Amino acid sequence: MVVPPTPENLERAAQIIRSGGLVAFPTETVYGLGANALDARAAARIFEAKQRPSFDPLIVHVADRGMLQKVVREIPAVAEQLMERFWPGPLTLVLPKSEQVPGIVTSGLPTVAVRMPAHPVAQALIRQAGVPVAAPSANPFGYLSPTRAEHVLRTLGERVDLILDGGRTEFGVESTIVLLAEKPTVLRYGAVALEELEKVLGALELQVGEREKPLVPGQLPQHYAPHTPIRIAPPEDIPPLLRKRVGYLAFQEVPKGFKVVKVLSPTGSLLEAAAHLFEALHQLDRLGLEAIYAEPIPEVGLGRAIMDRLRRASSAPAG
């Protein structure tokens, strides 16, 4: 059931979380599929609903420092710096987990990925539930992330006890993930650009490549994929006869000859392009196309996150 985030519906959703159920809710990145992060059986329902492999850990969402202290064993000084600058917001920190966090949430790892979302509906839900909320993206495992409630309804349907409709999400790509080990390390590109992190911490280690056994979500080689085959190529590389049978995901300008074209940002804004990425792919995926071709995006700022998602979604090597 899809409902607006009224006070009554938020309390209903919080009760579902407290009782071990599943609630899909908006964050500033994408919609999350939430359950009580301290309840192993509730967390297991997330894996079941998404058909997610148990080796892929979840992100835990908190509303305040008190909740954070329930799920992590320690908070190093570098974490304090990042929290001061980016929380609440689309940055996930990987920290040593507390004994209160069930092993299923972290896939048996000694660390937990945690963030404090900025979206008012997410904040209200977590506060009213009174528990940290484990929430991956609210979609079948490996499929396109949802940026609207209707995406959740169409792909997960009755597997979710309640869907809170907060409209389209702001950033449209998932959070950036940073491992706070001896040297801070970026594990996933996301809605906080690398350049913004470097303003706070200086140069960072990068481990954003593929992992068969991920440390955090979004590291598997094939992910974020539509059902329609997707390939990355500039329009000039695609023959005219093929253009008539395929869709094209363009960055800024509309190329000629394609069956259908979706433009991510007519103004060339990477922020706007990221916000529209998954929504445009959802639309193209429903058209029964032979294939979707995507234009390469400049790999600066949020362009890194966009290209990361496109490469993992692609059924062929980039470009």
Of 173, 146, 171, the closest CA to residue 25 belongs to 146
Per residue in 174-214, pLDDT (tens digit) is 999 999 988 999 999 999 999 999 999 999 999 987 666 67
Q: What is the pLDDT of residue 181?
A: 81
| 313 alpha-carbon distance from chain centroid | 13
Per residue in 153-169, pLDDT (tens digit) is 999 999 999 999 999 99
Tokens for 309?
A: 């998602």
| First-residue to last-residue Cα distance in the chain | 41
Which residues contact residue 284 at a Cβ distance below 8 angstroms, ignoring those fewer than 6 apart? 226, 228, 247, 249, 260, 262, 292
Residue 287 in this model has a pLDDT that exceeds 90? yes
Q: What is the pLDDT of residue 182?
A: 83
Q: What is the pLDDT of residue 193?
A: 97
Q: What is the pLDDT of residue 317?
A: 39
Per residue in 219-270, pLDDT (tens digit) is 666 778 899 999 999 999 999 999 999 999 999 999 999 999 999 999 999 9
Cβ–Cβ < 8 Å for 214, 225? no
Distance CA 172, CA 63 (A): 21
In the chain the domains, ranked by start, together with CATH numbers, are 2-219 (3.90.870.10), 230-314 (3.40.50.11030)
User: Which value, to the nearest 10 degrees, does the dihedral of the CA atoms of residues 111, 303, 223, 112 take?
Assistant: 10
Per residue in 3-38, pLDDT (tens digit) is 999 999 999 999 999 999 999 999 999 999 999 999
Per residue in 44-76, pLDDT (tens digit) is 999 999 999 999 999 999 999 999 999 999 999
Q: What is the pLDDT of residue 208?
A: 87
Cβ–Cβ < 8 Å for 238, 293? yes
DSSP letters, 190-236, are -SS-HHHHHHHH-S-EE--S--SS-SSTT-SSS-SB-SS-EEE--GG
Residue 316 in this model has a pLDDT that exceeds 60? no
Distance CA 132, CA 62 (A): 5
Per residue in 95-154, pLDDT (tens digit) is 999 999 999 999 999 999 999 999 999 999 999 999 999 999 999 998 999 999 999 999
Residue 318 in this model has a pLDDT that exceeds 70? no
- Return the bridge partners of 143, or none: 225
Whole-angstrom CA distances from 227 to 29, 69, 231, 238, 291 are 22, 40, 12, 21, 9
- Return the bridge partners of 96, or none: 111
Query: pTM value?
Result: 0.92
Q: What is the pLDDT of residue 217?
A: 74
Which value, in Å, is the radius of gyration of the alpha carbons in the chain? 19
- Return the bridge partners of 34, or none: 23
Distance CA 217, CA 187 (A): 9
Residue located via tokens 């329009």: 235
Q: What is the pLDDT of residue 140?
A: 95
| 294 alpha-carbon distance from chain centroid | 20
**Considering the chain, what is the average pLDDT of its residues?**
94
